[in-house]
Amino acid sequence: MPARPNLAENQRQQLAEFGERLRLARLRRRLTAQQVADSAGITRVTLHRAEAGDAAVTLGTYIKVMAVMALDTDVALLARDENAGHLMQDAQLPARRAGTTFPRRIRLAKYPQLRSLAWGLAEDAEVGPTEAFQLYERNWRHVEMAAMEPAEQALLAKLTATIGKGVMNV
């Protein structure tokens, strides 16, 4: 087991809470500590340390335990939305050009491709510009550019230029 890192109190608390969430996930699945430890290829003692939020437990061990309980996709969410870095980058960007503002809400019914991406929302729902851009970005594999109407192409170009700062992460 690696040496225990010197953590601040709030960081120790976060690890303890994470460990408790892992323990509860195991119990909800009615798995014993030995079953999870064996499936993860670790000892029961190491699992106990992980569930206690021990800072000396490696990230790889946490990921293996999460994988046993089908929670390993949650790892992709770690540091995904790194707001501080984005704010620093955004502060260095040039100011927006005139004419690139949006209405506060975008009506899905006016944009067929966007509407199909937001299938879980009501037919007459409205979303904000950031949410619209995120829908396009997250679901790009389902967008049919050839079938996209000119008004929707213009909306997408405007969203990419402003919300995405000229970049769409697809």
Q: Please write the tens of the pLDDT for every residue from 38-95.
A: 999 999 999 999 999 999 999 999 999 999 999 988 887 777 666 666 667 766 766 6
Instruction: Report d(CA 16, CA 22) in Å as an integer.
Output: 10
**CB contact at 8 A, 130 and 163:** yes
Domain ranges of the chain: 9-77, 97-162
Sorted by sequence, the CB contacts under 8 Å of residue 24 that are 6+ apart come out as none
**CB contact at 8 A, 48 and 40:** no
Confidence of residue 96 (pLDDT cuts 50, 70, 90): low
User: For the structural domain made of 9-77, what CATH number should be given?
Assistant: 1.10.260.40
Helical H segments across 29-124, by residue range: 33-40, 44-51, 59-68, 83-91, 112-117
pTM over the 0.85 mark: no
Instruction: Please list the residues that pair with 107 across neighbouring strands.
Output: 126
φ, ψ for residue 161 (rounded to 5)? -70, -35
